[in-house]
Amino acid sequence: MKGKIKATCPVCDSVGYVPEDYEGKVKCPKCKSVFKRTGNPISKVRKQLLGKLADLKQAGFSKATWIGGNDKHACKKCQSRHGVAYTIQQMTMILNSDFCESNPFEQGCRCTIVAFREPRQE
């Protein structure tokens, strides 16, 4: 479902779908409790990271380092990228694909990027 994410009710474990930009107003059809969000939706993280990449490119950087994915809540994709430097173009391609498999309703993607600096040659 485009624009929707799978959610599990914290009270009765019913499964439903909520908007990606969910703000806590959808009630479970079975028990009427409100679904809860703890993480950022992947679409929001993608938008933020693409904005950071644009800023880094404008500032003259050609590479960025992926930060995140170093805890038990991270998906395998994010874990494999933690601490890796990519070109701005490579990272843009990653972000425009299915870059994260975290459960966006429970944890959401918490990854970020930082400017990559080449080591100084002495």
Both 104 and 73 in one domain: the answer is yes
Looking at residue 93, what is its pLDDT? 93
3-state secondary structure of 13: coil
Domain-embedded: residue 122: no
72: closest CA among 105, 38, 110? Answer: 110
Total domains in the fold of the chain: 2
Q: What integer pLDDT is reported at residue 33 of this predicted model?
A: 83
Residue 14, domain extent: 1-36
Instruction: Record the tokens describing residue 80, joined without a space.
Output: 């494999």
Q: Report the pLDDT value the prediction gives residue 88, as an integer from 0 to 100.
A: 94
pTM score > 0.75 for this model? no
Both 27 and 53 in a single domain? no
| Low-confidence residues of the chain: pLDDT under 50 | 1
Q: Cα separation of 91 and 49, whole Å?
A: 9
Which pLDDT value is given to residue 51? 94
Residue 120 covered by a domain: no
Residue 63, domain member (yes or no): yes
| Residues 19 and 68 both lie in one domain | no
User: What is the Cα gyration radius of the chain?
Assistant: 17
Based on the domain organization, do 50 and 99 belong to the same domain? Answer: yes
Q: Give pLDDT, residue 84.
A: 94
